[in-house]
Amino acid sequence: MILVDTNIVLDIATRDPIWSEWSLGQLETAAASGVIAINDVVYAELAACYQHPDSLDHAIATLNLAHAPIPKFALFLAGQAFRKYRRQQGTKLNVLPDFFIGAHAMVTGAPLLTRDARRIRACFPSVILLSP
């Protein structure tokens, strides 16, 4: 399985003039090697861009993205990453989506297709990142 970050799906859905071609190519390459999936957090982030769940589900199905629930231990690690972030003077008050997504990739050993590698790399250095 390869996990897909929100930014990749949004690049394609919004036809981003800079990133859509790259993101679509990477998604196609990832799909050729096996299952590509989003998790609960990515689904929720994407939901902010759609009026109805059916529209979102159709967009996800069109991209052949599976749904992979976040394992309980990954949720714990996301909280630990947030605690470390706050101790290092991080200003956000809630667990960041990147922590959930990165911890999920780490616990499952799944590579992560993303354009936002900085925080994942810092918090979960063992995660294989597919990024520019």
Q: How many domains does the chain have?
A: 1
Work out the average pLDDT over 120-126: 94
CATH assignment of the domain containing 78: 3.40.50.1010
Q: How far apart are CA 109 and CA 68, in angstroms?
A: 13
| pLDDT at residue 77 is higher than 90 | yes
pLDDT of 92 reads 81
In this prediction, residues 43-63 reach a mean pLDDT of 97
* Residue 129 host element (H or E): strand 129-130
Element counts in the chain: helices (H) and strands (E): 7, 5
Please report which confidence band the pLDDT of residue 91 belongs to, taking 50, 70 and 90 as the band edges: confident
Q: Quote the mean pLDDT of the chain.
A: 95
Range of the domain at 76: 2-130
What pLDDT shows up at residue 89?
Answer: 85
Q: Are the beta carbons of 85 and 99 closer than 8 angstroms?
A: yes
Q: What gap in Å lies between CA 40 and CA 79, rounded to an integer? A: 16
Residue 130 φ/ψ, nearest 5 degrees: -110, 95
Q: How many angstroms separate the CA atoms of 36 and 3, rounded?
A: 6
Report the percentage of the chain scoring pLDDT > 90. Answer: 89
| pLDDT of 93 higher than 90 | no
